[in-house]
Amino acid sequence: MAVDLQTVKALLTEQALARLDPAEYRFCADAGCEVVYYNTAGATFEIDDLRVPVWQKRAFGSRMVCYCFGVSETTIRAEVEATGRSLAVERVREHIAARRCACELRNPRGACCLGDLIAAVKRVQAALASIDVIEGVADAS
């Protein structure tokens, strides 16, 4: 997926930015790969070259999903545990409607996080449901 050069510039560390060759970069979402950005000339920037953690490159559990409003799997889980559901998607939709988001600069993918956020809420809810089932089976024993 192509990423705007402004996104790459905004998220690189100072040391990595000094190596930047202005070109078209692509985003690598493969969790098993250290590379985050790459171009056709062979230039790459890896996880440690970015100012922010890249959720696609981290293990499930505490990843940041919405870089604009600080929604992580941890905050989603806490909300579901406290209230039985998460309203993170609705809150972010309200911010998007109010034109407050800056995903093109803050999200390493350079795109809106809403689809990722919807999927993250589902993953967290499914993980919590699995824990409840396992605990229910253990309690019945």
Query: Please, are residues 41 and 33 in contact by the beta-carbon 8 Å criterion?
Result: no
Segment 84-87 long-range contacts (CB within 8 Å, at least 24 positions apart): 85/125, 86/121, 86/124, 86/125
The count of C-alpha atoms lying within 13 angstroms of the C-alpha of 140, restricted to the half-sphere facing its C-beta, is: 6
Which pTM does this prediction carry? 0.85
Domains of the chain: 1-51 (2.20.25.270), 56-141 (no CATH)
Beta bridge pairs of residue 35: 46
* Burial bucket for residue 55 (CB in 10 Å: 0-12, 13-18, 19+): buried
Q: Quote the pLDDT of residue 132.
A: 57
**Which pLDDT value is given to residue 61?**
86
pLDDT score, position 136? 53
* d(C-alpha 102, C-alpha 8), whole Å: 14
Mean pLDDT per 10-residue section of the chain, whose length is 141 residues: 96 97 95 96 97 93 93 96 95 97 94 95 92 52 49
pLDDT at 137: 44
